[in-house]
Amino acid sequence: MSVLEAVKQESATVASDPVVAAHLPRLGMSAPLFEAVTTHGKIRLEDFRGGWVVLFSHPADFTPVCTTEFLAFAQIAPELHKRNTELLGLSIDSTSSHIAWVRNIKEKFGVDIPFPIIADSNKQVATLYGMIMPGESTTETSRCVFIIDPAGVLRAMIYYPLTTGRNTDEILRVIDALQTTDKHRVATPANWHAGDKVIVPPPATMEEVDARLNAGYECTDWYFCKKAV
Q: At what angle do helices 64-82 and 95-109 cross, to 10 degrees?
A: 90
Determine how many CB atoms are found less than 10 A away from the CB of residue 152: 21
Helix (H) or strand (E) holding 89: strand 85-91
What is the CA angle 77-139-55, rounded to 5? 20
Give the DSSP letter of residue 149: -
Q: Could you tell me which of 58, 180, 65, 209 has the C-alpha nearest to residue 120?
A: 58
Three-class SS state of 13: helix
Residues identified as active-site? 66
- Gap between the Cα atoms of 10 and 29, Å rounded: 10
